[in-house]
Chains A and B, each alone.
Chain A
Amino acid sequence: MSANNMMTIQDFEEHALAYGGDIDGWPVEDRAAAHKLFAESGAARAALAEASALDDMLDLWEGPEPSHALLSRVLADAAMVSEEATAKVATPAPRPIRAGWRERFFGGNAVFRPGLAFAACLALGFVFGTNIEHSALNPNSDIAAQEFGVIDFAFAMEDDADLLLGPEVLL
């Protein structure tokens, strides 16, 4: 459309091609200008006649009437959906029984079960690892333990004497 809202013959032809031979079926804002041009221009009338001919060809293809069987199937679907909805409302889903903490942590489906197994492996590994290391690296570990025990005992005696007699006695 031109700036002063006048429709050119090119616009008219484009509209006729897109929207067909009935100006009243075109976009509302273009109808008045189209009617005016149609009244004035032989080219516009020819374009509209061409578009109408294509409309007539398209109209040969009528849509089929829906069969009784199709209507029955659609209504049976509607009844089925209604029944499903009613059944859902009538029988609410059973509330799941809450498992006790033993079941949750150690039961067959416990979420933490793999984690607990892993932690147990780690703890066992640590205990065994440290024991093996201690005995492997210190073959005389029993003797050393006895020596440390004697020294500890000696210091303990000294402390006791301090308490009973005072530090001056030993000096």
Chain B
Amino acid sequence: MTAGAMTSLAGSRDADRTGWRQERAHMAETAMRPATAESDDDTLIAQFAGGDQSAARILTERHIGRVLALATRMLRDTAEAEDVAQETMLRAWRNAAKWEPGKAKFSTWLHKVALNLCYDRLRKRKSSSLEEVAEPMDDRASAQQGMEAEERLTLLKDAMETLPERQRAAIQMRHFEERGNDETAEILGVTVEAVESLLSRGRRALRDKLAGQRALLLEE
């Protein structure tokens, strides 16, 4: 290696070290500031890691609704969905100190964790006997609603439940959460092309299954 190259390598190492120090200093400074509702997720995570419980409250209020909706639509069981939402947030708290700002989007990471927890529970359900599968909580809870509305919702849920897990998850990400293809692909762990294919197949299957009930569903 030439002297020039060695000088340049040493220079880049110094720059890396300086950059790392500055980043650590910035994180430490961020962690000291009080959490506010306007703070971004990375800042709030750093603040929580620094011991600020109000940051945890803001993050929870910001994200738990979507995580719970995802789990509810995937599992169709409110109690199980709540367990998944709680476990997802617990993993976020446990990983807060190791969180690297800018490396990944916090909400994407959170949904990835939640989706994997849902997949685990769906796999366990498949392996357990039919008698052990709990009656869906949502349907019981909605018994107080009008019969017609309940019937329509049950039709939709039944149709969704027949879809393969990944098609269901792709529809959840794109339709219900309005996420882009790139983010959906990252959460599902597939390519962007695969996302489009999952969406097409899933929505086509849903359309075909619900074709007979369209008038009832849309009150046409």
Interface of A with B (CB < 8 Å)?
A: 14, 17-20, 25, 27, 50-51, 53-58, 60-61, 63-67, 70-71, 73-75, 77-79, 81-82, 85-86
Contact = CB atoms under 8 A, between A and B. Distances in A.
Interface in B171-220: 171, 174-176, 178, 180-181, 196, 199-200, 203-204, 206-207, 210, 214, 217-218
A81 B94 contact: yes
A77 B210 contact: no
Contact of A56 (B89, B93, B218): B218
Contacts of A60: 152-153, 156, 217
A134 to B, nearest CB: 66
Given A18-B199, A27-B180, A58-B156, 18 more contacts: A18-B200, A20-B174, A55-B175, A57-B210, A58-B175, A60-B152, A64-B68, A66-B68, A66-B85, A70-B64, A70-B86, A71-B61, A74-B89, A75-B53, A77-B86, A78-B93, A79-B56, A81-B96
Interface in B149-172: 152-153, 156-157, 160, 171
Interface string B58-81: 001100111011101100001001
A80 B153 CA distance: 39
Contacts of A85: 49, 51, 97
B51 to A, nearest CB: 6
Contacts of B106: none
20 contacts: A14-B200, A19-B199, A25-B174, A25-B178, A55-B175, A58-B206, A60-B153, A63-B68, A63-B73, A63-B176, A64-B69, A64-B138, A65-B65, A66-B64, A66-B68, A74-B85, A74-B89, A81-B90, A82-B48, A85-B51
Contacts of A20: 174-175, 203
Contacts of A17: 199-200, 203-204, 207
A28 B69 CA distance: 26
Contacts of A25: 174, 178
B82 interface: yes
Contacts of B49: 85
Given A18-B196, A71-B60, A78 B53 contact: yes
A47 to B, nearest CB: 12
A73 B181 CA distance: 33
B171 to A, nearest CB: 7
Contacts of B181: 27
B78 A64 contact: yes
B21 interface: no
B57 interface: yes
A61 B214 CA distance: 15
A79 B89 CA distance: 12
Given A60-B217, A74-B64, A74-B86, A81 B199 contact: no
Interface string B121-144: 000000000000000001000000
A79 B53 contact: yes
**Pairs of residues from A and B, 5 with the lowest C-beta to C-beta distance, nearest first:** A63-B69, A78-B56, A18-B199, A81-B93, A18-B200
